[in-house]
Chains A and B, each alone.
Chain A
């Protein structure tokens, strides 16, 4: 058991949990948008935008996972000490949990947004903005994870 183990667990957690949140969010939104498209396929572009909005969490998680791999000796960098490995794991939890939960929440918001812009195209920009409001929390988690991950290699722990 050494730091590497925890770093790799961290990379997995960041990618998987955030991806889980996004998958659920995008999945729900996609179902709703397909319902709309079956009535009016010309709305595809707008529906696509709303459907993909909860997808960013997964990307953030993946980026944190990737940066951990780059910094922990798998894809470059030096092998981490025990303390550094735990630090990577801790950093991953932020985007993992934050991304997952905000993915769920954003998915729900996106479903409502789809219903709203299905009724009237003019509602689209309002729906889009409201759905992106959720994203700030994923973003904050991501920034914290990111700042920790890139500073870990310099930490003497």
Chain B
């Protein structure tokens, strides 16, 4: 990684930044303070405009999606961004204002729909209130005449005519009144009451005493007319909404254009955000950034072509970001590494080792030739058909390589969709053959040879751990910390090797056994003598002895690898169970149909469950057992200034 500083004329800023963004060569260094003599320019208002446009298009797309479902295949989420010609960008820019007005129209139309919907709800509530007054032939807000006071309203109890006149008489025996009950229901009576104007206050008091209230819906029309009007309005609203929705739907074919425009604004917003970070003087501006060493020449060539500028490179410090470089085999595993942590400058890039062991262990856990083959083929097809973006492509590739390893281990364990070939053969021919007999090559049956397989698993674990410690050894040597290399790591590696030799000796000859014991004892003595070296006096001895206690952590690490056996067995047995269930329904046509159904569903479940389990546990073995031996992490990933778009990307070969 190099630090780069590009000084160029402000007139060339647009062209230079655009080309840098397209080529994604450098990461722009963001600093708060300007250097002396420079100042920042404020582009916030422009950025805000672009960002507003982006969110407007997002809204418009969402509204379109709500109204017209976009036709998507089941696997389309794998599909990569569409490639566009650089010339097309100009075209997009020209159309942008049209597209934005379409978006605005869509959002407005949607607003009409939601407004109408809420008005319709209000109208429906009013209608429900008017329902009780349908028989009334005067308006609800009819006011008093010269001689008569009019009261229209509701009482919070159910009355019939007799009960109500009694109740009113009880309140005020002097009150003269005439009333008409419009509607009664539980806890409510709607009534119209007339009283002489001279007794208006008396009537009011009496009515208030029994809980009289005027209705909400005050209108100058009779309830019937009002209800008709409201209904008419309701119909109008629904027609209007329908029209609006129709219009929204008619914009469905603009969807692609909107997406492209959204990306256009997103890209521009990014660019202006970067301009905010740059130091300017009146005529020139400065870009500070990081660039991978191998891209320096490309950058120089590009800058010379598009702008008048001065470039200087210098060695980057320790806080520079890290770009991982790996070959095709290891690259897919980079995401596993960065999920843990990007390597710091003290680390080596362990991706190739990680990749190898990841594929290897995943295969051993998933261990089924049928599933492995399915993974390889299915991913191959997806890669071919959908041409996913790089990140997705790498993830898919990761599983494709895992699939190859799964295929291999499946063949070793004699497992092809579990014991499907043998089960099916036995089912239809009535014989009883096992997979071991069926397959022409020697296989290990995890169910029968579990103990042996466990030993093999732990042996692989030992190799894995030793490789991890080997990395630590190498890092220490590189930093010329020979004490740490030989005493802290070397002796432990020797000790573990000693135990391994010892174990082999137990199974074979005495001589090997004694050699193993010798190595282990030698390294133990070495550890006791050296591990207390940073302590004083008596602590030297205690520290040395105490360090031997670490052997428990190595043992638990090693035992952890028995999961290779456990998960391998799980896949095999589950598959076997489904195969057994499938063949329970006889050899008739009906039975065969059920057989196919159970097999399809069962193996799909098994793939889902166990692929997940294998993925998680393989990752754990890398992170906990291997990385803990040497990997520090804590670096920053190289994140180039690039087209951070969702739907389109520029055709690479066309970037000039």
Verify A125–B559 contact, CB threshold 8 A.
no
A interface footprint on B336-361 (CB within 8 Å = 1, 0 otherwise): 00011000000000000000000000
Q: How far is the CA of A67 from the CA of B574 in the complex (A)?
A: 11
Q: With A136-B560, A143-B562 as given contacts, are A56 and B619 in contact (CB-CB < 8 Å)?
A: no
B564 to chain A, nearest CB (A): 10
Most buried by A among B450, B566, B569, B570: B566
What residues of chain B lie closer than 8 Å to A67, measured between beta carbons?
Answer: 447, 573
Verify A136–B616 contact, CB threshold 8 A.
no
Verify A132–B569 contact, CB threshold 8 A.
no
**Closest residue on chain B to residue A71 by CB atoms:** B447
**Closest residue on chain A to residue B573 by CB atoms:** A63
Q: What number of B residues sit within 8 Å (CB to CB) of A? A: 29
Verify A133–B624 contact, CB threshold 8 A.
yes
Q: How far is the CA of A63 from the CA of B574 in the complex (A)?
A: 8
9 extra interface residue pairs, beta carbon distance < 8 Å, beyond A56-B613, A66-B573, A139-B562: A48-B612, A53-B616, A59-B609, A67-B573, A129-B620, A136-B560, A139-B560, A142-B566, A143-B565
Q: Does A6 contact B (CB under 8 A)?
A: no
A interface footprint on B559-580 (CB within 8 Å = 1, 0 otherwise): 1101101100110011001001
What residues of chain B lie closer than 8 Å to A32, measured between beta carbons?
Answer: none
Verify B339–A125 contact, CB threshold 8 A.
yes
What residues of chain B lie closer than 8 Å to A129, measured between beta carbons?
Answer: 619-620, 623-624
B338 to chain A, nearest CB (A): 10
What residues of chain A lie closer than 8 Å to B450, measured between beta carbons?
Answer: 146-147, 150
What residues of chain B lie closer than 8 Å to A48, measured between beta carbons?
Answer: 612
B interface footprint on A120-147 (CB within 8 Å = 1, 0 otherwise): 0000110011001101100110110011
A residues neighboring B (CB under 8 Å): 48-49, 52-53, 55-56, 59-60, 63, 66-67, 75, 124-125, 128-129, 132-133, 135-136, 139-140, 142-143, 146-147, 150
Most buried by B among A133, A135, A143, A150: A143
B385 to chain A, nearest CB (A): 22
Verify B570–A75 contact, CB threshold 8 A.
no
What residues of chain B lie closer than 8 Å to A56, measured between beta carbons?
Answer: 570, 613
Instruction: Mark out the residues of chain B between 543 and 587 whose CB falls within 8 Å of any chain A CB in the assembled complex.
Output: 556, 559-560, 562-563, 565-566, 569-570, 573-574, 577, 580
Verify B624–A125 contact, CB threshold 8 A.
no
What residues of chain B lie closer than 8 Å to A53, measured between beta carbons?
Answer: 616
What residues of chain B lie closer than 8 Å to A147, measured between beta carbons?
Answer: 450-451, 454
Q: Does B448 contact A (CB under 8 A)?
A: yes
Verify B340–A125 contact, CB threshold 8 A.
yes
Q: How far is the CA of A44 from the CA of B113 in the complex (A)?
A: 32
A116 to chain B, nearest CB (A): 15
Verify A128–B619 contact, CB threshold 8 A.
yes
Q: Does B617 contact A (CB under 8 A)?
A: yes
Verify B577–A49 contact, CB threshold 8 A.
no
What residues of chain A lie closer than 8 Å to B562, measured between beta carbons?
Answer: 139-140, 143
Verify B569–A150 contact, CB threshold 8 A.
no
What residues of chain B lie closer than 8 Å to A140, measured between beta carbons?
Answer: 559, 562
Name the 3 nearest CB pairs between A and B, nearest first.
Answer: A132-B620, A125-B339, A63-B573
What residues of chain A lie closer than 8 Å to B559, measured between beta carbons?
Answer: 136, 140
**Closest residue on chain B to residue A136 by CB atoms:** B560
**Closest residue on chain A to residue B449 by CB atoms:** A150
Q: How far is the CA of A49 from the CA of B608 in the complex (A)?
A: 11
Verify A60–B560 contact, CB threshold 8 A.
no
Verify B566–A124 contact, CB threshold 8 A.
no
What residues of chain B lie closer than 8 Å to A142, measured between beta carbons?
Answer: 566
Q: How far is the CA of A82 from the CA of B166 in the complex (A)?
A: 92
Q: How far is the CA of A128 from the CA of B618 in the complex (A)?
A: 12
Q: How far is the CA of A63 from the CA of B620 in the complex (A)?
A: 22
Verify A59–B556 contact, CB threshold 8 A.
no
Verify A63–B616 contact, CB threshold 8 A.
no
Verify A60–B447 contact, CB threshold 8 A.
no
What residues of chain A lie closer than 8 Å to B573, measured between beta carbons?
Answer: 63, 66-67
Q: How far is the CA of A141 from the CA of B559 in the complex (A)?
A: 12
A141 to chain B, nearest CB (A): 10
What residues of chain B lie closer than 8 Å to A143, measured between beta carbons?
Answer: 454, 562, 565-566
Verify A60–B563 contact, CB threshold 8 A.
no
A37 to chain B, nearest CB (A): 17
A-B contact list, 21 entries, CB within 8 Å: A52-B609, A55-B609, A56-B570, A59-B570, A59-B609, A59-B613, A63-B569, A63-B570, A63-B574, A125-B623, A128-B616, A129-B619, A129-B624, A132-B624, A135-B563, A136-B560, A139-B560, A139-B566, A140-B562, A142-B566, A147-B451
Q: With A59-B570, A63-B573 as given contacts, are A132 and B617 in contact (CB-CB < 8 Å)?
A: yes
Verify A150–B619 contact, CB threshold 8 A.
no
Of A52, A66, A128, A139, which is within 8 A of B577 by CB?
A: A66
**Closest residue on chain B to residue A140 by CB atoms:** B559
**Closest residue on chain A to residue B613 by CB atoms:** A56
What residues of chain A lie closer than 8 Å to B609, measured between beta carbons?
Answer: 52, 55, 59
What residues of chain B lie closer than 8 Å to A49, measured between beta carbons?
Answer: 612, 616
Q: How far is the CA of A143 from the CA of B453 in the complex (A)?
A: 11
**Closest residue on chain A to residue B580 by CB atoms:** A75
A interface footprint on B612-636 (CB within 8 Å = 1, 0 otherwise): 1100110110011000000000000
